[in-house]
């Protein structure tokens, strides 16, 4: 019996260079092309201009004493300056620590303290958060944090001007001493329990992942990539920024945080050819009341990732947004992030029912969660991956690293998946999200996909809630289309006779929104907590 294991192509070699060396090659070839357009800031930089700014900031950071391996925190929504700091720290071997813009003081202190940041670069504020006050509150807890610079203040202006910085020769010497396997980035994964873990990534990890995600979309220097996903996350800084810089494409930033109107306006105004997003972002764009008035005909491809893509949403992206070559990516922060991707010429079925095939230079397999043994094709098990993309480890946490990456180098993702005979993989849920109702395994994704086919349903999330009789029962949280009048009973009737009785949700809740992370991922554990209280299920819990 054939086993569920596959390896991606290796005909195109891995990039064996640092981020700085790769950027220099791109600048030499495409210096006069647009590198970065920040529409909300009115900024437009060519690759030559970007490189000059990166060099000045790199020299400024060296001048204040940062050395290879030091950690620098970056706490900001999407601005051009985020990308500058990303590239400048990589240029001098300083490890960039991404800080989630939604963090509050407790989480901020944890990330900066656990990683041992010597310096923090921060926006002064974001939405209702006053970052200046919050940094002042946590500073006494952080003896390692020597300096904080806020964007656009006098200290920042001096830094970006290279004032008092290292010489060009000193910077060149520093660059030459760096190696592709040096750690360059720490990203904290938002655990649903316990403290976040700092996935530590190298030049080789993220440079190559950005490059091959771009190749998977046939990127060229003429492409213009609209990036509404957060830079602090792999989707933005790796698949977005490094996906562009490795191919000479243009990074187009519509706003500091996601806004459907800004995205649609930006795609039209900048003639973007590529659009990134998580499914909830595409759902919001497609549901925009003025959607039809935007000219999106320049779009060709893009990436939908971050959580499973509803079939109907993917069809709409192809039909209504002109994204005929749109690809699905699957991954996680710990794998830089992408492990599998659909191909531009794949059938609509493959692009809606799967997350593609193994990425170049990456191995994937489906393993028995209990034994770790590789399962046969067609069997449901844990998605595991191995290759250049797997993180160095969790920062200063050998125990949790060993729990995630086994002795043979396989990263255990915690996701349940099935590999078909053709090597395409379908993610059926999280091991922790699987609902066991009266001994029957139910994958919420399957029920969600069915409910999406109802004409009045705009978005839906299915969870398991405690039940004294069956152990667990299904609950659907449903967001209706504007003006829809379908009732809860009608939604249940829609399921009966079409899906197995044990998959019909016992509870249905109509909602305006779901609890979300800042990256647009639905927080099902919060939905469960809320449901237990609202339904009075604490005794069965």
Q: Which of 146, 179, 212 is the last residue of a domain?
A: 179
For residue 446, the domain's CATH number is 3.30.300.30
pTM of the model: 0.88
The reply to whether 499 falls in a domain is yes
Q: What whole-number distance in Å separates Cα of residue 43 and Cα of residue 40?
A: 8
10 & 125 share domain: no
The reply to whether 103 falls in a domain is yes
pLDDT of residue 107: 87
- The SS3 of residue 354 is coil
Locate all alpha helices (DSSP H) within 191-273, ordered by sequence. Answer: 203-215, 234, 243-245, 260-270
Q: What whole-number distance in Å separates Cα of residue 258 and Cα of residue 175?
A: 35
For residue 146, the domain's CATH number is 3.40.50.980
425 & 499 share domain: no
Written as six digits, the tokens of 111 are 């990330």
Name the one residue in this structure whose structure tokens are 């990436």.
303
Q: What whole-number distance in Å separates Cα of residue 42 and Cα of residue 120?
A: 25
pLDDT of residue 193: 46
248 & 373 share domain: yes
The reply to whether 348 falls in a domain is yes
- DSSP letter string over 58-101? HHHHHHTT--TT-EEEEE-SS-HHHHHHHHHHHHHTPEEEEE-T
The reply to whether 31 falls in a domain is no
pLDDT of residue 93: 98
pLDDT of residue 312: 84
144 & 270 share domain: no
124 & 152 share domain: yes
CB neighbourhood size of 28 (10 A)? 11
SS3 content of the chain, % helix, strand, coil (to 5): 35, 25, 40
Q: Which of 410, 431, 452 is the last residue of a domain?
A: 431
Q: Spell out, as residue ranges, where the chain has pLDDT lower than 50.
A: 192-193, 540-541
pLDDT of residue 55: 98
How many domains is the chain built from?
A: 3
The reply to whether 92 falls in a domain is yes
pLDDT of residue 491: 95
Q: What whole-number distance in Å separates Cα of residue 111 and Cα of residue 188?
A: 7
- The SS3 of residue 331 is strand
Distances from the Cα of 487 to the Cαs of 445, 451, 480, 482, 492, in angstroms? 22, 13, 10, 14, 9
418 & 455 share domain: no
The reply to whether 415 falls in a domain is yes
370 & 407 share domain: yes
301 & 444 share domain: no
pLDDT of residue 489: 95
pLDDT of residue 124: 98
Estimate to the nearest angstrom the gap between the alpha carbon of 53 and the chain centroid. 26
CB contact at 8 A, 511 and 480: no
User: Domain range holding 507?
Assistant: 435-534
171 & 212 share domain: no
397 & 466 share domain: no
pLDDT of residue 191: 52
Q: What angle do CA 223, 225, 229 make, to 5 degrees?
A: 165
Closest CA to 424 of 493, 375, 356, 369: 356
Q: Which of 411, 431, 451 is the last residue of a domain?
A: 431
pLDDT of residue 181: 98
Dihedral angle sign, alpha carbons of residues 155, 161, 164, 168: positive
Distances from the Cα of 142 to the Cαs of 69, 98, 145, 148, in angstroms? 18, 17, 5, 12
Q: What whole-number distance in Å separates Cα of residue 23 and Cα of residue 51?
A: 8
294 & 213 share domain: yes
The reply to whether 30 falls in a domain is no
CB contact at 8 A, 59 and 165: yes
**Partners of 327 in the β-ladder:** 303
| DSSP category for residue 164 | T
454 & 411 share domain: no
Q: What whole-number distance in Å separates Cα of residue 330 and Cα of residue 383?
A: 11
Name the one residue in this structure whose structure tokens are 């891995």.
14
Q: What whole-number distance in Å separates Cα of residue 73 and Cα of residue 70?
A: 10
The reply to whether 39 falls in a domain is no
For residue 283, the domain's CATH number is 3.40.50.12780
Dihedral angle sign, alpha carbons of residues 102, 107, 109, 115: negative
Name the one residue in this structure whose structure tokens are 């990036």.
227
């Amino acid at each position: 019996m054939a086993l569920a294991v596959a390896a991606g192509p290796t005909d195109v070699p891995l990039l064996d260079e640092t981020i700085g060396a790769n950027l220099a090659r791109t600048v030499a070839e495409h210096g006069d092309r647009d590198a970065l357009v920040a529409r909300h800031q009115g900024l437009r930089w060519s690759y030559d201009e970007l490189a000059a700014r990166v060099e000045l900031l790199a020299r400024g950071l060296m001048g204040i004493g940062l050395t290879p391996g030091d950690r620098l925190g970056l706490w900001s929504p999407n601005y051009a300056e985020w990308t500058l700091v990303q590239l400048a720290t990589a240029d001098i071997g300083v490890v960039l620590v991404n800080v989630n813009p939604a963090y509050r003081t407790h989480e901020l202190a944890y990330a900066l303290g656990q990683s041992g940041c010597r310096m923090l670069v921060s926006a002064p504020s974001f939405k209702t958060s006053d970052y200046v006050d919050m940094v002042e509150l946590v500073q006494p807890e952080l003896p390692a944090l020597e300096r904080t610079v806020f964007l656009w203040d006098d200290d920042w202006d001096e830094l970006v001007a290279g004032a008092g910085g290292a010489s060009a020769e000193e910077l060149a010497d520093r660059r030459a001493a760096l190696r592709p396997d040096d750690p360059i980035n720490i990203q904290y994964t938002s655990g649903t329990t316990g403290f976040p873990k700092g996935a530590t990534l190298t030049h080789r990890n993220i440079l190559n992942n950005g490059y091959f995600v771009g190749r998977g979309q046939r990127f060229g220097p003429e492409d213009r990539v609209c990036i509404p996903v957060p830079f602090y996350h792999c989707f933005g800084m790796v698949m977005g920024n490094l996906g562009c810089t490795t191919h000479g494409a243009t990074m187009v930033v519509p706003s500091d945080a996601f806004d459907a109107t800004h995205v649609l306006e930006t795609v039209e105004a900048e003639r973007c050819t590529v659009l990134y997003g998580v499914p909830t972002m595409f759902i919001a764009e497609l549901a925009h009341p003025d959607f039809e008035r935007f000219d999106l005909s320049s779009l060709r491809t893009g990436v939908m990732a971050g959580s499973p893509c509803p079939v109907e949403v993917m069809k709409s992206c192809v039909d209504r947004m002109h994204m005929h070559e749109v690809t699905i990516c699957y991954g996680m922060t710990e794998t830089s992030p992408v492990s599998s991707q659909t191909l531009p010429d794949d059938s609509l079925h493959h692009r809606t029912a799967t997350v593609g095939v193994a990425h170049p230079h990456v191995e994937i397999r489906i393993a028995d969660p209990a034994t770790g043994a590789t399962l046969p094709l067609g069997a449901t098990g844990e998605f595991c991956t191995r290759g250049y993309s797997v993180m160095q480890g969790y920062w200063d946490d050998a125990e949790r690293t060993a729990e995630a990456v086994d002795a043979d180098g396989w990263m255990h993702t915690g996701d349940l998946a099935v590999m078909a005979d053709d090597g395409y993989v379908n993610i059926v849920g999280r091991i922790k999200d699987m609902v066991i109702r009266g001994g029957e395994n139910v994958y919420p994704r399957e029920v969600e996909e069915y409910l999406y086919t109802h004409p009045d349903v705009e978005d839906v999330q299915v969870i398991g809630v405690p039940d004294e009789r069956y152990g667990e029962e299904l609950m659907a949280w449903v967001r209706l289309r504007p003006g829809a009048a379908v009732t809860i009973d009608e939604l249940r009737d829609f399921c009966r006779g079409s899906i197995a009785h044990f998959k019909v949700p016992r509870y249905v809740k109509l909602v305006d929104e779901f609890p979300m992370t800042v990256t647009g991922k639905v927080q099902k554990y919060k939905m469960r907590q809320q449901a237990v209280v609202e339904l009075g299920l604490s005794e069965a819990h």
